[in-house]
């Protein structure tokens, strides 16, 4: 085996040992927490969006995103708790996170520097969801 083959084999071994349903559960719990904060306290997203969160219209949009995250998180947990397929929920989760990361990156020059953390967090969550959907059901 050459070095690349060993790396691929090792990665496959690691992935096969991961409890993807547990990771899906952790992502769902995190999404529920974040969604709750966005719904109840949209100004908490100031580090991501900046002072525009003081605008009523922006708080409406943040609350809508919070509801989106609550729905995806609750749906994922419900499916996990009932032993139902989770792949579609992880696909929705990845799509939401990729849109958040892409939209934030597209406006990064007008956002606070800390918004880059949102890009990293959203992209990482999307990557976990995409990886998990391959193995969860």
CA distance 25 to 31: 10
17-62 pLDDT tens trace: 778 899 999 999 999 999 999 999 999 999 999 999 999 999 999 9
Short-list 86, 51, 56, 52, CA closest to 72? 86
Residue 89, both tokens: 């929920």
In a domain, 27, yes or no: yes
Q: Which pLDDT does position 112 carry in this prediction?
A: 94
> Is 1 inside any structural domain?
no
Question: In the chain, how many domains are there?
Answer: 1
Within a domain: residue 9?
no
Q: What is the structure's pLDDT at 18?
A: 78
Nearest Cα to 44, choosing from 65, 14, 17, 68? 65
The answer as to whether 83 is a domain residue is yes
Q: Is residue 61 part of a domain?
A: yes
Confidence of residue 68 (pLDDT cuts 50, 70, 90): very high
In whole angstroms, give the CA distance from residue 50 to residue 13. Answer: 43
Domain contains 94: yes
Residue 15: its pLDDT value, please? 58
Q: How many CB atoms lie within 10 A of CB 103?
A: 13
Tokens of 54: 């003081």
Dihedral pair phi/psi, residue 48, rounded to 5°: -90, -50
């Amino acid at each position: 085996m050459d070095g690349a083959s060993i790396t691929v084999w090792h990665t496959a071994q690691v992935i096969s040992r991961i409890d993807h349903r547990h990771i899906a559960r952790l992502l769902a719990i995190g999404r529920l927490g974040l969604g709750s904060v966005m719904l109840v306290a949209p100004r908490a997203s100031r580090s991501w969006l900046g002072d525009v969160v003081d605008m009523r219209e922006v708080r409406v949009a943040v609350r809508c995103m919070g509801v989106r995250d609550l729905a995806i998180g609750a749906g994922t947990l419900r499916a996990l708790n009932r032993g139902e397929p989770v792949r579609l929920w992880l696909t929705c989760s990845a799509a939401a996170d990729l849109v958040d990361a892409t939209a934030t990156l597209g406006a990064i020059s007008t956002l606070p520097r800390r918004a880059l953390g949102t890009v990293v967090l959203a992209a990482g969550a999307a990557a976990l969801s995409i990886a998990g959907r391959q193995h969860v059901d």
